[in-house]
Amino acid sequence: MSLFYQLVFVILISEMLLFGLLIAPLPLGIRRSMLKWMSTSPILTRSKAYFRIMFVYVSIMFVDSLNKVFNTTHHHEGDAFHRANVFREQRNLYLTGAVLFLSLLLNRFFAMIAELMSNETKSETLKKQAAKQSTDYLRLLDKEHDHAAELDALNKKIDELDAKARQVDVVTRQAKQTHDEYMRLTDRFVELERKYDAARGGTGDDARKTR
């Protein structure tokens, strides 16, 4: 195996280990931290350019291996050397093909992780906003409840004052009636007293005349 295909083999092993780590049944906290680090790591961000270059070179090697497999299959005799060449080119084809497939898979997986982390961040922001709005709403409800309690207390005081006002009105009417009755009796007494004085005065004059 040439040096280039050895490097491709190392890349394949690395991709397999990375993919195995991503799908491993890790605890939720560890998986969450790992995915968040992958989506925000500046190292992985800077490595994307190298991954693209690697993908281009491996694609060229894949096309070259495919062409050699096609040529060795259709233009050589079936001796041991021919079969060795076919086996070597097929191995290179499968090796580069597996690297390309895993590269595409990992690229899509990382894109999904980035989207997931972005949505999760938005979800946390929305949850915080909803919690803040809920707290504000509860605070407003408490204030409204306090206002309602104050209003009830004021209504009770108003009812008490109305009751006292009605009692004062009743007492006032009773006092007015008593005063009116007193004045009527006073007037009646004065009238009777005048009549009595008048009658008494007339009786005195008759007695003097008789004498």
pLDDT digits (tens, 9 = 90+) for 51-64: 888 888 888 888 88
Q: How confident is the model at residue 207 (pLDDT cuts 50, 70, 90)?
A: very low
Question: Is the entire prediction scored with pTM above 0.75?
Answer: no
Using CA atoms, how far apart are residues 120 and 108, in angstroms rounded to an integer? 18
92-122 per-position pLDDT tens digit? 888 888 988 888 888 888 778 778 777 877 8
126-135 per-position pLDDT tens digit = 888 888 887 8
